């Protein structure tokens, strides 16, 4: 089953890249032709639209009225011919059908702005591009009476490269209010993101009201504290009794769905199964293998909750839950998780083992496949499409399932004719650090995903046969919130990385140019500032690799390790030295780093650090005096193997950046 359909010739249409002096449109349109002249938005500007375009015309008027305070009345398109110049017209036109449901044509002349599309989504995206053609202050939430609202004359024909351009928010680890979720959808939709994957259920909290099972939110939506080692004041999601958490009523869900639909964003709910289910089992422990109550007070990396795959009550419960979910979410997709399922309980459960015997299953991987396939049959019977993480491939992929590839299997699934959404940890996990200096960043789960790496992502897997590339629906950026307890930090982790992914999934591959993207990003930052959105300013990675270690370098006991420094890196000021682990079962303990001039220590930092799979303060700050000609500079690190000497890594030198913590 296909959610979106568009014509294949659009994938290979010619692209005209943006001129360096052109306005900063993100994502970059497929075709643009700049012309001399400008359109001025004025207090007497009118907006016209035909019947199907009236809602989008109303949105445009609302977007523009706030900062301009112009009345901007909306009239029927039939009246446009009687109007003098200076107006905006939105038209749904059958002749624009070749652009697909999300494509649009935008023409700006000195007196008229025209947006044409085959469907309301296309008009909406044309409106987003028009907003970007205006000064960044158009995104302000207060009036700016002295601002000139000028639009350059241009002709744009545009459509998306991929139909799935997604963002995922985990609200189980930390709860975000209905209003906060809507704020994120608004900003993402302005970047032409069209899927919001709502991770509503996990071990740490159940966030959606289910009428048939009230204890899911009475018990499963709460825990005793904020958890994950975070400060209690880092979040405000506390109930009257002091417990941490929260949930969305079914009325809340309907409001968010309607809000997203108005912005042409499809909400894909995720109800985790068979693992990541401690919150549900805290409320209904009889659905576990042991029948023992479970806790939502779990730290990072703990995946305790697993439904019993042998009890019929489990499937009855999940089918009843999904029946209410189907009624709340019009999305054709229902995400069932399926990842990181610990199967130890199943191995010792008489019900699960009896199920395996009755169904002729060889192992617990096949039992997981049975579980997913059985749920898929139910989902499909309700005219919905099942989607799950990479692990639903284990034991055999369900017949009609769509795979969300985070750890591999996307190419395999697409080759078998299954649709795939690409979201690998290497390029799409926005809970990873954005800078290598962890002391200058908010605490994150680990990893390193700079803006450059997001922008370099190619969603079509290497080696996938051309005939099967249509099964790659697109890509998605994920925000897991173990260490992200408030909205401002979510925004900081999302932007501008989500903006980069928006361009990768919308614009033609041949037009991708990181240098030009960062030029346009400077203007986009002004838009976010005007709208009160928190973000991380892009800072190029100015680190210089000055040395690398192999196991042979590391000793069991603390020993000095010297690195000759190139003269060019030694500059007066403050420098940071980062020992970055890259490989090995063990790491290294560091007791200090020093800068030597002709063998004499001239600066040092002697704090204890560790670099390994979970680094701890491996960055050292040195005060560097003005270099002298003819002097030999050396970096000396005091290091020792931690649990062994098999690690490897690289040492980086950089001028000290300013902190960007939100």
Q: DSSP letters along 393-409, please?
A: GTT---TT-EEEESSS-
- In 3D, which of 517, 514, 578, 567 has the Cα closest to residue 545? 578
**H/E element holding 269?**
strand 266-273
- Tell me which H or E stretch contains 356: helix 350-359
217-249 exposure pattern, b = at least 16 Cβ within 10 A, e = fewer: bebbbbbeebbbebeeebbebbeeeeebbbbbe
Helix 250-262 vs helix 178-190: crossing angle, to nearest 10: 10
| DSSP state string for 461-479 | PTT--GGGGGGEEEEEEEE
Catalytic site residue from 102, 158, 191, 202: 202
Check if the beta carbon of residue 314 is closer than 8 Å to that of residue 367.
no
Q: In this structure, what DSSP letter does residue 255 have? A: H
Distance between CA atoms of residues 390 and 408, nearest Å: 6
- Would you call 413 exposed, middle or buried from its count of C-beta atoms within 10 A (0-12, 13-18, 19+)? buried
Set 197, 264, 276, 438: catalytic member? 276
User: How far, CA to CA in Å, does 321 sit from each of 270, 334, 648?
Assistant: 12, 12, 49
Look up residue 629 and give its DSSP letter.
T
Q: For the chain, report the end-to-end CA distance as a whole number of angstroms.
A: 42
Catalytic position from the list 340, 365, 366, 623? 340
Residue 276 is among the residues annotated as catalytic for this protein: yes
Does 340 qualify as catalytic in the annotation?
A: yes
Can you read off the two tokens belonging to residue 493? Answer: 């982790």
- Relative orientation angle of helices 250-262 and 312-328, to the nearest 10 degrees: 50
Largest CA distance in the chain: 87
Strands (E), 487-558: 544-549
For residue 250 the two structure tokens come to: 């079914």
CA distance linking residue 25 with residue 394, whole number of Å: 42
Q: DSSP letters along 408-433, please?
A: S-HHHHHHTT--EEE--HHHHBTTSB
DSSP type of residue 613: S
Count Cβ atoms below 10 Å from residue 466 Cβ, excluding itself: 7
Q: Which residues are catalytic?
A: 202, 276, 340
């Amino acid at each position: 089953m296909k959610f979106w359909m568009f014509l294949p010739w659009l994938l290979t249409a010619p692209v005209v890249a943006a001129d360096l002096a052109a306005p900063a449109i993100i994502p970059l349109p497929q075709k643009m032709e700049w012309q001399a002249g400008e359109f001025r938005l004025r207090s007497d500007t009118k907006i016209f639209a035909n019947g199907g375009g009236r809602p989008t015309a109303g949105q445009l008027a609302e977007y523009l009225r706030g900062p301009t305070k112009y009345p901007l009345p909306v009239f029927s398109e039939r009246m446009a011919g009687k109007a003098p110049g200076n107006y905006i017209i939105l038209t749904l036109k059958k002749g624009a059908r070749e652009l697909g449901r999300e494509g649009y044509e935008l023409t700006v002349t000195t007196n008229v702005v025209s947006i044409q599309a085959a469907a309301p989504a296309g008009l909406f995206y044309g409106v987003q591009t028009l907003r970007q053609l205006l000064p960044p202050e158009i995104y302000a939430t207060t009036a700016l009476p002295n601002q000139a609202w000028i639009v350059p004359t241009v002709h744009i024909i545009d459509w998306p490269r991929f139909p799935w351009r997604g963002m995922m928010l985990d609200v189980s680890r930390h709860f975000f209010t209905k209003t906060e979720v809507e704020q994120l959808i608004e900003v993402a939709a302005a970047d032409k993101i069209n899927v919001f994957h709502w991770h509503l259920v996990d071990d740490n909290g159940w966030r959606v009201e289910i009428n048939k099972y009230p204890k899911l939110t009475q018990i499963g939506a709460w825990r005793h504290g904020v958890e994950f080692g975070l400060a209690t004041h880092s979040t405000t999601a506390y109930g009257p009794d002091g417990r941490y958490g929260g949930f969305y009523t079914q009325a809340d869900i309907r409001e968010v769905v309607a809000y997203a639909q108005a912005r042409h964003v499809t909400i894909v709910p995720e109800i985790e199964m068979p693992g990541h289910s401690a919150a549900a089992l805290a409320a209904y422990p009889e659905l576990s293998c042991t029948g023992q109550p479970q806790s939502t007070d779990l730290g990072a990396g703990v995946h305790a909750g697993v439904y019993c795959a042998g009890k019929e009550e489990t499937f009855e419960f999940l089918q009843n839950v999904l029946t209410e979910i189907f009624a709340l979410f019009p999305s054709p997709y229902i995400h069932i998780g399926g990842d990181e399922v610990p199967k130890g309980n199943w191995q010792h459960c008489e019900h699960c083992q009896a199920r395996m015997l009755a169904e002729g299953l060889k192992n617990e991987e096949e039992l997981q496949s049975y579980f997913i396939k059985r749920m898929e049959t139910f989902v499909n019977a309700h005219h919905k499409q099942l989607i799950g993480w990479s692990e639903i491939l284990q034991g055999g992929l369900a017949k009609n399932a769509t795979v969300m590839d985070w750890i591999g299997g996307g190419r395999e699934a697409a080759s078998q004719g299954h649709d795939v959404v690409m979201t690998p940890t290497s390029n799409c996990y926005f809970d990873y650090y954005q800078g290598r200096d962890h002391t200058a960043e908010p605490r994150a789960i680990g990893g390193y995903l700079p803006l450059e790496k997001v922008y370099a992502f190619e969603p079509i897997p290497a080696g996938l046969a051309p005939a099967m590339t249509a099964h790659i629906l697109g890509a998605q950026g994920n925000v897991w919130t173990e260490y992200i307890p408030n909205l401002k930090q979510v925004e900081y982790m999302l932007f501008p990385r989500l903006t980069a992914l928006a361009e990768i999934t919308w614009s033609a591959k041949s037009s991708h140019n990181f240098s030009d993207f960062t030029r346009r990003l400077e203007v986009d930052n002004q838009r976010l500032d005007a709208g009160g959105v928190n973000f991380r300013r892009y800072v190029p990675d100015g680190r210089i690799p000055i040395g690398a270690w192999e196991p042979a370098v590391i000793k069991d006991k603390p020993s000095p390790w010297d690195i000759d420094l190139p003269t060019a890196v030694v500059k007066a000021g403050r420098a940071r030295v980062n020992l970055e682990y890259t490989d090995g079962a063990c790491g290294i303990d560091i007791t200090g780093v020093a800068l030597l001039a002709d063998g004499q220590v001239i600066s040092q930092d002697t704090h204890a650090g560790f670099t390994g799979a979970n680094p701890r303060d491996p960055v050292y700050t040195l005060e560097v005096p003005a270099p002298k000609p003819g002097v030999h500079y050396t970096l000396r690190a005091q290091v020792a193997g931690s649990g062994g000497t098999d690690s490897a890594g690289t040492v980086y030198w950089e001028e000290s950046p300013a902190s960007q913590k939100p």
